[in-house]
Amino acid sequence: MSVLKAALVQHAFTADLNANVEKSLAAIRQAAQAGARLVVLSELHTSPYFCQVEDPGLCALAESIPGPLTERFAAAARDNKVVLVGSFFERRAPGLYHNTAVVFEADGTLAGRYRKMHIPDDPAYYEKFYFTPGDLGFHAISTSVGKLGILVCWDQWYPEAARLMALDGAQVLIYPTAIGWDPGDPEAEKQRQLEAWVTIQRSHAVANGLPVLSVNRVGFEPSPAGKGGIQFWGHSFAAGAQGEILARGSHERDEIIPVDLNLARIEEVRRIWPFLRDRRIDAYGDLVKRYRND
Amino acid sequence: MSVLKAALVQHAFTADLNANVEKSLAAIRQAAQAGARLVVLSELHTSPYFCQVEDPGLCALAESIPGPLTERFAAAARDNKVVLVGSFFERRAPGLYHNTAVVFEADGTLAGRYRKMHIPDDPAYYEKFYFTPGDLGFHAISTSVGKLGILVCWDQWYPEAARLMALDGAQVLIYPTAIGWDPGDPEAEKQRQLEAWVTIQRSHAVANGLPVLSVNRVGFEPSPAGKGGIQFWGHSFAAGAQGEILARGSHERDEIIPVDLNLARIEEVRRIWPFLRDRRIDAYGDLVKRYRND
């Protein structure tokens, strides 16, 4: 059975944390009833995107993994017999937090976790304040539906991360995401940003000959700082092993986006486009340098 | 002066080698008269794409660099006061050949050469028969119009190559190319291939925050083997530092495509998208492995 039925859950979130969880649990149930065996949620889906400001008090949102919060999602995976990708603000120790994606097996066990390796820090995305960069590296997670290369949001701009997951045997790249527009930006800039975001992720499918799932949130979230805010742009999508768009969501609506992934196409595409055959690993050594000229 | 006026020369070629050269020289003149200071030709632009078959006799097409053939292009660069990127079948020694891009300075001197590092070998693209993989590595070439990251065709599928050029200080990535459709492929496959080719190159602009120029040939070239042949798909294009399309050619016509590159945008874009800031060089070591699981 090489066709994997997946579902991308694109949601808006509010300050009512329990309502966010209930909304996700309902979507998981609905996706499973529609036949999904892999369900992917967006980044930090239990709260508003709190990194718009630097506030030590917001670290109270962080939870242990496993813990009571992730147990609710583990139970949803088990009850609905789906492999589930969630994303949490992980409290590893007092004062030590990560942005962590978690994969639950269809029996509710924790298949693995990925701690976001590339951490952004830009106006309205002050993630370096909250999250210690991941220390687990880039490793695909084995599940009953295949080997999953889980990466998170800012990671999506780094071809190195996608490549390492492919070299680790990943059969699909999965990007839980929270990205949106600055409402003050001109329309042309907004379009360039959205197109770049789609393009770079489709390119990971192309370069590595495997499908990509990217799940973003929707909705406007005002900034606690009082002005600005983020218009999350949705557009969750699935691309096939040649980068072709298989499914895509709207910019503004809550949606469950189903997609069938033909995992047998990975090898078919890699036979006609044998990029992995020809990598010049003898000449790639400087990729571990910050810059070359100094 | 941060705006660089460039021109992409998209041509069809025939078995009349001298006519091919004369056509390129005329285009260089025309582009310079229109204001171009950088002119880019497509891959192996002095002959038909001879790699459709494996024929030792075709190695007679190879020429020394510098040599009488490249001298004609050096003179064109000098006479027209343009920096010129050409692409040649290099004869380095008897039985030792490369697919080599050459940069001529606007005074006709040889600014540098790049020997194609990733060599394809697919039906109708039997390049491994002709070309020894490059041994000069990935190094940007300094010129009077900026530092040029020259890569060739198959290299365009490798994010590693683009990244190394960016880390070497390249201000623009340049891909002389010869790629086309198998006339026997269905239309949907042709479109996937073209889109993938555009997507992966735009992604190099996005990932590295710099412009990309890609120059392909046009025209149908029958296979000397008697059936098949390649319909070169043109679509030469320029992308800006966010991957946005700045200019693009048709699929079938000889064209000189002008484009203005604002090199100051490199730093502007990298300030809002500081991807180079956050690379996890501590975790990229396995990029020099062929595969990870064995």
Q: Any chain B CB within 8 A of the CB of A159? A: yes
* Alpha carbons B229 and B264: distance in angstroms, whole number: 42
Quick count: other Cβ atoms within 10 Å of Cβ B230? 23
Q: What is the mean pLDDT of residues B133-148?
A: 98
Pick from B111, B124, B128: nearest CA to B77: B111
**Cis preceding-peptide flag for A56 (omega within 30 of 0):** no
Chain A residue numbers with beta carbons less than 8 Å from the beta carbon of B192 are: 242-244
Spatial distance between the Cα atoms of B46 and B15, rounded to a whole number of angstroms: 9
pLDDT at residue number A231: 98
Average pLDDT over chain B, rounded to an integer: 97
How many Cα atoms are found within 13 Å in the side-chain-facing hemisphere of A67? 12
Among A287, A162, A153, which residue's Cα sits nearest to residue A230? A153
Q: What are phi and psi of B276, to 5 degrees?
A: -65, -25
Cis peptide before A66 (omega within 30 of 0): yes
Give, rounded to a whole angstrom, the gap between the first and last alpha carbons of chain B.
51
For residue A1, the model assigns a pLDDT of 55
Q: Which residues contact B273 (CB under 8 A, 6 or more apart)?
A: A157, B209, B242
What's the mean pLDDT in A243-266?
Answer: 98
Q: How large is the average pLDDT for residues B261-269?
A: 97
Tokens of A105: 């097996």
Q: Which of B192, B203, B243 sits opposite A244 (nearest CB)?
A: B192
Active site residue B5: no
> What is the mean predicted confidence (pLDDT) over B9-26?
98
Whether chain B has a CB inside 8 Å of the CB on A180: the answer is no
First to last CA, chain A: 52
Of the candidates B274, B278, B257, which has an alpha carbon nearest to the alpha carbon of residue B266? B274
Overall average pLDDT of the A2-12 stretch: 96
The full set of domains in chain A, from first to last, is: 3-280 (3.60.110.10)
> Percentage of residues in chain B with pLDDT exceeding 90?
97
Instruction: Write down the residue that tokens 């390129």 correspond to.
Output: B24
Contacts of B85 by beta carbon, 8 Å cutoff, 6+ apart? B38, B39, B40, B41, B101, B102, B103, B104, B148, B150, B174, B176
Which tokens hold the place of A246? 């298989």
pTM of the model: 0.98
Residues A161 and B163: their CA atoms lie apart, in Å, by 13
A119 touches chain B (CB under 8 A): yes
CA–CA gap between residue B283 and residue A115 (Å, rounded): 13
Counting one residue from chain A and one from chain B, the pairs whose CB atoms sit within 8 A come to: 166
d(CA A197, CA A218): 15
Q: Out of A195, A283, A288, whose CB is closest to B137? A: A283
- pLDDT exceeds cutoff 60 at B150: yes
Residues 6+ positions from B207 with CB-CB distance below 8 Å: A157, A158, A159, A200, A203, B159, B162, B163, B166, B275
Interface test with A, best of B190, B194, B197, B278 (most A CBs within 10 A): B278
Q: For residue A282, give the DSSP letter.
A: G
**Active-site residue set of A:** 43, 116, 153
Residues of chain B with pLDDT > 70, as a percent, come to 100
Contact A243 B195 (CB under 8 A): yes
Mean pLDDT of B139-166: 98
* Averaged pLDDT, B45-55: 98
Taking the CB of residue B106, how many other CB atoms lie within 10 A of it?
19
When CB atoms are compared, the residue of A138, A276, A288 closest to B281 is A288
Check CB contact under 8 Å for B159 and A133: no
pLDDT at B148 over 70: yes
Instruction: Identify the pLDDT of residue A120.
Output: 98
Q: Could you tell me if B35 lies within 8 Å of chain A, comparing CB atoms? A: no
Query: Is the pLDDT confidence value at B272 over 70?
Result: yes
C-alpha span between B289 and A101 (Å, rounded): 26
Cα separation, A133 vs A289, whole angstroms: 18
Flag whether pLDDT at B274 surpasses 80.
yes
Six-digit token pair at B118?
A: 């990733």
Write the DSSP assignment of A63-77 as a string of letters: B-SSSHHHHHHHHHH
Q: How far is CA B177 from CA A158, B143, B152, B221, in A?
A: 25, 21, 6, 15
DSSP summary character for residue B226: S
**DSSP bridge pairs for A217:** none
* Mutation to test the A interface, candidates B141, B187, B272, B284, most A Cβ within 10 Å: B284
The distance from CA A111 to its chain's CA centroid, rounded to whole angstroms, is 16
List, for residues B200-258, the tens digit of each pLDDT value. Answer: 999 999 999 999 999 999 999 999 988 889 999 999 999 999 999 999 999 999 999 99
Question: Please, what sign has the CA dihedral across residues A12, A14, A20, A26?
Answer: negative
**Do the chains contact at B289 and A167, CB–CB below 8 Å?**
yes
Mean pLDDT across the stretch B75-99? Answer: 98
Residue-wise DSSP of B44-108: TTTS--GGGS--GGGGGG-B-SSSHHHHHHHHHHHHHT-EEEEEEEEEEETTEEEEEEEEE-TTS
Q: For residue B157, what is the nearest residue in chain A, using CA coordinates?
A: A207
Measured between beta carbons, the chain A residues lying within 8 angstroms of B160 are: 159, 163, 279-280, 284, 287
The closest CB to that of A196, out of B192, B243, B291, belongs to: B243
Interface contact A202, partner B, CB < 8 A: yes
Per residue in A191-241, pLDDT (tens digit) is 999 999 999 999 999 999 999 999 999 999 999 988 889 999 999 999 999
Smallest Cα–Cα separation from A167: which of A193, A134, A190, A138? A138
Closest CA of chain A from B72, distance in Å: 32
The stretch A20-30 carries a mean pLDDT of 98
Confidence of residue B1 (pLDDT cuts 50, 70, 90): low
Q: In this complex, which of B199, B243, B287 lies closest to A160 when CB atoms are compared?
A: B287
- CB pair distance less than 8 Å for A202 and B207: no
Question: Residue A166 in contact with residue A144, Cβ under 8 Å?
Answer: no
Cβ contact, residue pair B193, A275, below 8 Å: no
Chain B CB within 8 Å of residue A138 CB: yes
Neighbour-count burial of A250, counting CB atoms closer than 10 A to its CB (0-12 exposed, 13-18 middle, 19+ buried): middle
A160 touches chain B (CB under 8 A): yes
Partners of A119 on chain B (C-beta within 8 Å) are 278
Q: Does A271 touch chain B (CB under 8 A)?
A: no
Catalytic residue (choose from B5, B51, B153, B255)? B153
Q: Do A272 and B122 touch (CB under 8 A)?
A: yes
Please tell me whether residue A212 adopts helix, strand or coil conformation: strand
Mark yes or no for CB contact B117/A293 under 8 Å: no
Tell me which residues of chain A, numbers 231 to 270, contact chain B at a CB-CB cutoff of 8 Å: 242-244
* Residue A203: closest CA among A166, A235, A178: A166
Beta carbons within 10 angstroms of residue A1's beta carbon: 7
CB atoms within 10 A of CB B80: 20
Tell me, what's the ipTM? Answer: 0.97
pLDDT in tens, A129-153: 999 999 999 999 999 999 999 999 9
Which of A132, A268, A286, A289 best tests the B interface by mutation, with the highest count of B CBs <10 A? Answer: A286
**Partner residue opposite A157 with nearest CB, options B133, B275, B281:** B275
